[in-house]
Structure 1
Amino acid sequence: MHTIWKGSISFGLVNIPIKLHSATEDKDIKLRTLHKKCHAPIRYEKICSVCEEEVKPEDIVKAYEYTKGKFVVLDNEELEKLRKENEDKAVEIIDFVKIEEIDPIYFDRSYYMSPNESGGKAYSLLRKALQESGKVGIAKIIIRSKEQLAVIRVYENTLVLETIHFPDEVRNAEDVPNIPSDDKVTKKELDTAILLIDQLTTTFKPEKYHDEYRSALLELIESKRQGQETVTAATKEPATNVTDLMAALQASIDRTKPKKAATRTKKKAASRVKKEA
């Protein structure tokens, strides 16, 4: 499993060297965009909005737009130094809370935590302590140049670091439009709705759910492939040296034709002058 972060987690005087691994993976089917005319892939280039020319990676800088059209430019060395200073710090668990107190809207991404060399015992200690107490740890960590608030919890005997949003990253629910302020439902309607909920209530078994759209899309793609409903991207025919050489020779011949004609005319005129003399 690929390691995306190395560091250490500490609580109190206990320090645990750990590695982070992505706990989830994106199963979306990636579709390419083609030119309808020749079925060649569409290329997306970085074009300067003013110069209207393609910009190379080495000519791109990062900046913060503090007001419309005005930027503070940050060079890579400054950003790397800042990231390094914070990333090298041990990640400290600053609080322990009950997970029920955290609304699911805060949760973002999940990472498995594995102990690094010599970290097995401390890892087991934190895991056992969290299981016995029924609590989760709250910590801060920098992943991919972004500081994250995180929950550390136990999942199937493995410690999981779950990044969560900061409060100012969660939009205010009061800003959602057209939310009715009063409950305008009758008791009979409510009782019927609760009865329906009771009838559909079951134990959560994640394996019973699957992505039906992805399955159908894969079946459609495979059926088209089996039926030979495929296309081949058109390719550019490279200009050969022979063609270029022939074109160059022909151009040279065309350029020299008038000169030769003019030379012959001059020679004839000179001959006449000599004879007359």
Structure 2
Amino acid sequence: MHTMWKGTISFGLVNIPIKLHSATENKDIKLRQLHNECHTPIQYERTCPHCEREIENEEIVKAYEYAKNKFVVLDEEELQQLKKEQEDKAVEIIDFVKLEEIDPIYFEKSYYMSPDESGSKAYALLRRALKDTGKIGIAKIIIRSKEQLAIVRIYENTLLMETIHFPDEVRDVRDVPNVPEEEEVGDKELKTAVSLVDQLTTEFEPNQYKDEYRTALMELIEAKKNDEEITTAKEQPAPDNVTNLMDALEKSLERTKGQKGGTKKKTTKSTTKKKSTSKANQPKEKKTS
């Protein structure tokens, strides 16, 4: 399992060297965009509208837009130094709370925590402490240049770190439009609704829920493959130095031919004129008797 982050997490004076591994994966079926005429994959280029040309990676800098078209440019060295200062800090569990006190709207992404070679005993100690108290830990961690609020809890027999949103990242529910205020609900309608809820109530078994759209899409793709309804993108000739050199040589040759033709014609005319002038200026020979 790929390691996403490596560091130390602590509670009190106990330090646990750990590794984080992504606990979930995105299984969305990625569809490519092709040109309908030749079925070649579409490419997107980074261009500067002001300079009207494509931009290379080394020409790009990061900046914060604090007002319309007003930017504060941040050097990569400054960002890396700031990142290093934060990442060098050990992740500390700062509070312990009950899981039910946190609304699921705050939950973001889950990571399995595994102990480093020397951290097994401390790992087991934290796991047992959380289990016996029924609490979860609150910590801060920097992942991919972003500081994250996180919880540490037990999932089956493994410690799980789950990043959660900061309060200012959760939008105010009062901004949601058209939410009705408290309204009178008829007893008959309410009784019917409650009965329906009771009939559909069961224990949560995650394996019984399937992504039906993804399954149907893969079946469609496989059917088209079996019927050989497939297309192959036309291979694009890869430009190389030889091709570029030949193009440059041929263009240079054409340009040289044009220049020589014009120069030669002009030179001939000039030479003819010069010869005529020279002949006219020569002194006439005297006849001798």
CA distance in 1, matches of 2:82, 2:256: 62
Partner residue of 1:98?
98
CA distance in 2, matches of 1:142, 1:188: 53
Deviates more, 1:91-100 or 1:256-265: 256-265
CA distance in 1, matches of 2:11, 2:238: 63
CA distance in 2, matches of 1:50, 1:266: 49
1:101 Cα shift? Answer: 0.3
Cα distance 1:258–1:145, how it changes in 2: closer, same or farther (>3 A)? closer
CA distance in 2, matches of 1:192, 1:28: 38
Q: Does 1:126 align with 2:131?
A: no
Partner residue of 1:155?
155
Percent identity between the aligned chains? 63
Deviations 1:126-183 (A, max 9, x none): 0000011000000000000000000000001000000000000000111000000122
Deviates more, 1:177-186 or 1:110-119: 177-186
Partner residue of 2:83?
83
CA distance in 2, matches of 1:204, 1:148: 29
Unaligned runs of at least 5 residues, structure 2 = 280-289
Q: Does 1:213 align with 2:207?
A: no
CA distance in 1, matches of 2:90, 2:115: 14
Cα distance 1:111–1:243, how it changes in 2: closer, same or farther (>3 A)? closer
Deviates more, 1:256-265 or 1:75-84: 256-265
TM-score by length of 2: 0.85
Partner residue of 2:174?
174
Partner residue of 2:5?
5
Partner residue of 1:45?
45
Cα distance 1:201–1:235, how it changes in 2: closer, same or farther (>3 A)? same
Match of 1:108, SS state, is strand
Q: Does 1:15 align with 2:29?
A: no
CA distance in 2, matches of 1:18, 1:44: 39
Match of 1:32, SS state, is coil
Partner residue of 1:231?
231
Match of 1:198, SS state, is helix
1:184 Cα shift? Answer: 3.5
Cα distance 1:200–1:71, how it changes in 2: closer, same or farther (>3 A)? same
Q: Does 1:191 align with 2:191?
A: yes
Aligned length: 277
Unaligned runs of at least 5 residues, structure 1 = none
1:223 Cα shift? Answer: 0.6
Structure (1 or 2) with the larger CA radius of gyration: 2
Corresponding letter in the other structure for 1:140 = K
Deviations 1:183-203 (A, max 9, x none): 242011011000000000000
Partner residue of 1:113?
113
Deviations 1:98-144 (A, max 9, x none): 00000000000000000012100000000000011000000000000
1:79 Cα shift? Answer: 0.5
CA distance in 1, matches of 2:53, 2:195: 65
Match of 2:29, SS state, is coil
Match of 1:114, SS state, is strand
Match of 2:48, SS state, is coil
Match of 1:44, SS state, is coil
1:235 Cα shift? Answer: 3.0
TM-score by length of 1: 0.89
Instruction: List structure 1 runs of 4+ shifted beyond 6 angstroms.
Output: 238-270
Deviates more, 1:244-253 or 1:229-238: 244-253
CA distance in 2, matches of 1:13, 1:133: 19
Match of 1:181, SS state, is coil
Deviates more, 1:241-250 or 1:228-237: 241-250
Cα distance 1:102–1:266, how it changes in 2: closer, same or farther (>3 A)? closer
Match of 1:182, SS state, is coil
Cα distance 1:215–1:246, how it changes in 2: closer, same or farther (>3 A)? same
Partner residue of 2:138?
138
Deviates more, 1:261-270 or 1:180-189: 261-270
Cα distance 1:257–1:229, how it changes in 2: closer, same or farther (>3 A)? same
CA distance in 1, matches of 2:247, 2:115: 64
Partner residue of 2:284?
none
Pairs within 5 Å for 1:262-277:
none
Cα distance 1:258–1:130, how it changes in 2: closer, same or farther (>3 A)? closer
Aligned-residue Cα RMSD (Å) equals: 2.7
Corresponding letter in the other structure for 2:42 = I
Match of 2:140, SS state, is strand
Q: Does 1:70 align with 2:70?
A: yes
